[in-house]
Amino acid sequence: MKLPAYLLVMLLLISLIVLGLAGCKGKSTQRSVGTAPVGTAPVGPAPVEPAPIPPIIFVHPAGSNANTGDQANPFLTIQAAVLEAGVRGGKWDVKVAAGNYTTDSLNADPTLGRIVLSEGISLLGGYDPADWNVRDPAVHVSAITEISSDTANPSGPVKVVDGVTTATLIEGFTIRGNDTTTSTAWGAAITLDGTLTPTSSPTIRNNILIAGCGANTGISSAIWNQGGSPIVEGNTLYGTDNPACWATRVYGYYQDAGGSAIVRNNPDIRPLGVSGAAQTGCTGLCEVAGVYFARGDQPLAEGNTINIPTAPKEAHGIAFFNAGAVPTYHGTATGNTITLGTSVLTQKGIYASFGAAPNNKGTVTINNNVITMGTGTGTQASAYGIFVAANNSLTTIESNTIKTTTPTAGIVPVQYSGIYFTASTGDALIRGNVVRVGNSTGTLYGSVGLHILASNMPLATISDNLFVANSQLGATGATWGVLINGAKDLNIFNNKIHGGSAPTTTYGAYFVNISGTANFYNNLVYGGVATTNSYGVYFTAGTVTGSMVVRLYNNTVDSGTGGTTNRGIYLNAPFTTMEIVNNILKLNAGTTVWGVQTMTAALKPPTRMDNNSFSGGGVTSIYSEANAPLAGSYSVATMPVGFLNNVADAPVFVSPGGTDGLVSTPADNDWHLGATTPVTVTGGGATLPAPFDVDMAGVTRTAPWSMGAYEF
């Protein structure tokens, strides 16, 4: 009998099932987690279990707080969703559709009050109200605004409590703080309330945050960190749009307690709001800053763009202030772009202050920043690209660019300094910076490239920088390429230094109160353009008494164009040892011109002055000595016995004026020795020990050495 076709198919399927079960006999049906049977080697790595996706609660402007919070039944307010997530426990993502959401910190109903986030509850905004699969915060704006008139504690519509880690995320919102003009406290968009333990540390990413009002005695900041180590990245941080309610202090980001915050890659930080209008309601300090770490442990500001177009008194792009005197404090500012406009009192691109001793603990690293300085409009206005005060540990300032908007911009009445230290007792490493400062009308300190004042640094290493002072526009005052007042040991090498221009006096490199060893080598120095006096390298005494050791090796020095006097090297300080070897001293016309001049305060002549080239300014005006037994004036031909191998042959440089033909603009000048330079210069140098055996360009010197900064 022939079986029907459907029975044949059924018999075939049964046979296949039986065979399959037989083949699986003795094998586990549990999913492998990468453990091999005993006696065999595992095959490949264990599979990685995907991270669990947090469950979701939904919020929609057409929702209801009576709903369950699922996608089909969303809540109406973010507060209700956050409260529900807290009740359910665990990790939750609160997804918020585009719409206008409000908070009222005075409202007794917690579903309408301030949003309070705890660990594991993340807020995600920017969803299309019509399609939860579409998310674009720039198009679908989820806006949160504080509407209360709470004047006692307007800490913002979003508050993050202690115990929150960076796994908790706030992303994709536009959040605006309390905008009342009557506040006497704080105004913020997001407050990190790590007041008990500094552990309020969420990730705040890709939001637009607008500060609230903290008028008169308060503080206004887009983010106010009271203790935590958050990651703040990709945000736009604005001050309030209402100039009348700007506080005594206005910030984009402000931290006043412990923690190691990371503030990075925020593309637009404007503490004075979108418009940057003048601050009209401020009394007292009136301080404006893009990012301000008033306390902390290891704060980092990286890759941010900060713009402060105007300030009523003080403006800081980034500020570090170790008010808590944390011994392990280390602040870092790297890769930021900072633009400052006008300020009535003081402006600082990057500001690091560590308080009065003995609390001035900690270190700071400032590198790869671009700082554009502005102008001062008040009678006491000063401008500083980088300002360091009272630091007793290492400060590293490396590969920064400090400039003004245009070469003639940046006029301040008192002082304009590119890099400035005051009252600092820690080591400093200053390397690879490009500094061009603005003009000044100050009568004391005018335009200064690098200024170290009233300090006692154990060691300052200054190398591979360009320091260009600008113009002193007042009737009196001076300019300095480098001005150092107070250090023990100095290693200064491979720098290009320009002394600026002034109607009175200009200095290329000026030193006072140096108590240890100063090694100054392989530098290109231009003394500046002065109506009266110009100096290439200048040492004076201050309060130091006779312990100084100075080595001036292989520098190329142009004395500047002082119409009355110009000097290549001026010595008016007591020293134990003074060695002047292998330098090129190019002098210019003037009433009184000296290659080297030693005054009575030096107490004695140089201990060594060999193998130098003196040229220009008249061959009879090479060396002037005020101290016995060599008191008198000398030419190369009449140089005292013991000063060896000095020459009056002039070097021929490759392009001393550069592409613009101006010696006074050193950045593009090429002071390598040209092919027609006399052999007495290209091969007339003395051999010196390491580290002096490598020239400015990194070329190892070979005997016979060349004079000047570059080996021929």
Residue 596 has pLDDT above 80, yes or no: yes
> Which one of 286-295, 324-333, 533-542, 550-559 scores highest in mean pLDDT?
550-559
Give the least confident one: 97-106, 352-361, 516-525, 603-612: 352-361
Q: Give per-residue pLDDT as tens, 111-153.
A: 999 999 999 999 999 999 999 999 999 999 999 999 886 666 6
Q: For the ranges 435-449, 486-500, 550-564, which has the lowest average pLDDT? A: 435-449
Confidence band for 89, pLDDT divided at 50, 70 and 90: very high
- Among 389, 381, 252, 400, smallest CA distance to 320 is for 389
Q: Is the pLDDT of residue 23 over 60?
A: no
| Six-digit token string for 432 | 């690879």
Give me the mean pLDDT over the 648-660 stretch. 92
pLDDT recorded at residue 407: 56
What is the reported pTM?
0.90
- In this prediction, residue 11 carries a pLDDT of 46
Identity of residue 649: D
Helices (H) and strands (E) in the chain, counts: 3, 58
- Lowest mean pLDDT segment, chosen from 16-20, 202-206, 496-500: 16-20
pLDDT at residue 17 greater than cutoff 90: no
Task: For 504-532, give the secondary structure using H, E and C.
Answer: CEEEEEEEEEECCEEEEECCEEECCEECC
pLDDT reported for residue 694: 98
Per-residue confidence (pLDDT) for residue 16, from 0 to 100: 41
Highest mean pLDDT among 327-331, 484-488, 551-555: 551-555
Query: Quick check: 650 and 679 in contact, CB under 8 A?
Result: no
What pLDDT digit, counting tens, does each position of 383-404 carry? 999 999 887 788 999 999 999 8
Tell me, what's the pLDDT at 20? Answer: 42
Residue 689 has a pLDDT of 97
- At residue 279, the pLDDT reads 59
- Convert the pLDDT of each residue in 525-581 to its tens digit: 999 999 899 999 999 987 765 578 999 999 999 999 988 899 999 999 999 999 999
pLDDT of 369 over the 50 cut: yes
* DSSP bridge pairs for 667: none
Stronger pLDDT, 609 or 542, i.e. the higher one: 609
DSSP 3-state of 244: helix
Reply yes or no on whether the pLDDT at 700 is more than 70.
yes
Residue with tokens 């504690």: 153
Every domain of the chain and the residues it spans: 477-712
pLDDT of 244 strictly over 70: no
CA quadruple 121, 127, 130, 134: dihedral sign: negative
Check whether 219 has a pLDDT greater than 90.
Answer: no
pLDDT of residue 185: 62
User: How sure is the predictor about 257, in pLDDT bands with cuts at 50, 70 and 90?
Assistant: confident
Average of per-residue pLDDT across 486-496:
95
Distance CA 150, CA 157 (A): 11
Nearest to 527 by CA among 585, 477, 487: 585
Strands 517-521 and 670-673: unpaired
Residue 622 has pLDDT above 70, yes or no: yes
- Calpha distance 144→146 (Å, rounded): 7
The pair of structure tokens assigned to 320 is 């570090």
Q: Cβ neighbours of residue 40 under 8 Å, at least 6 residues apart?
A: none
